[in-house]
Amino acid sequence: MEIDLSRYHNSLSRKHQLIRMLWAIVWNVFARPLPRSIGSGWKRFLLRAFGAKIHSTAIVYSSTKVYYPANLEMDIHACLASGVNCYNVAPIKIGANTTVSQGAYLCTASHDITNPLHPLITAPIIIEDQAWIAADAFVGMGVTIGQGAVVGARAAVFKNVEPWTVVGGNPAKFIKKRIIEN
């Protein structure tokens, strides 16, 4: 059997595609020109208008790309920093006091590479409270990042990360336990 993408079918509904197009226009016109985290309240308003569940202390930088706001949940003091790609075809949940740093990629979708029609497959990403996803890290579909875990810069994570551990590399491996000193 050969891969034949002429028969590829976009499984996302017309309504979903329309909302996404409208959202892209709204964010690019009304939020993206603002510098960095300026106008956080306004950005939360826009995200909520498209269905996001965002705590009033959460921050989304202007250069963050949110694919589908209705699939975004952010808890108290959660932050999506500059250049983060929040590809939430399936839900993404960002826990309290959790930061996703510059250029990180949260990717809830892939394709079934065993199927000649290459269909889209999706699964949620959950990032629990007090975690840190460092710069340029990749977090794949279906992954849960445990409470307090740190995903090091440029790590590529395809499996769940245990709470209060530090992981790094591609594929990400355990580096050490995260110990908080008082």
Site residues, ligand COA (CB under 6 A): 101-102, 134-135, 150, 152-155, 166, 168-169, 175
Question: Least distance in Å: CB of 25 to ligand COA?
Answer: 30
Cβ closest to ligand COA, residue 169 vs residue 171: 169
Q: Taking the chain, what is the end-to-end CA distance rounded to the nearest angstrom? A: 60
Q: CB under 8 Å, gap of 24 or more: what pairs does 81-86 form?
A: 82/36
- C-alpha–C-alpha distance, residues 156 and 172, integer Å: 5
Cβ closest to ligand COA, residue 107 vs residue 133: 133
Question: Least distance in Å: CB of 159 to ligand COA?
Answer: 16
- C-alpha–C-alpha distance, residues 20 and 151, integer Å: 29
Please identify every residue annotated as catalytic: 111
Question: Least distance in Å: CB of 138 to ligand COA?
Answer: 12
Residue 182 neighbours by CB under 8 Å, 6+ apart = none
Cβ closest to ligand COA, residue 58 vs residue 131: 131
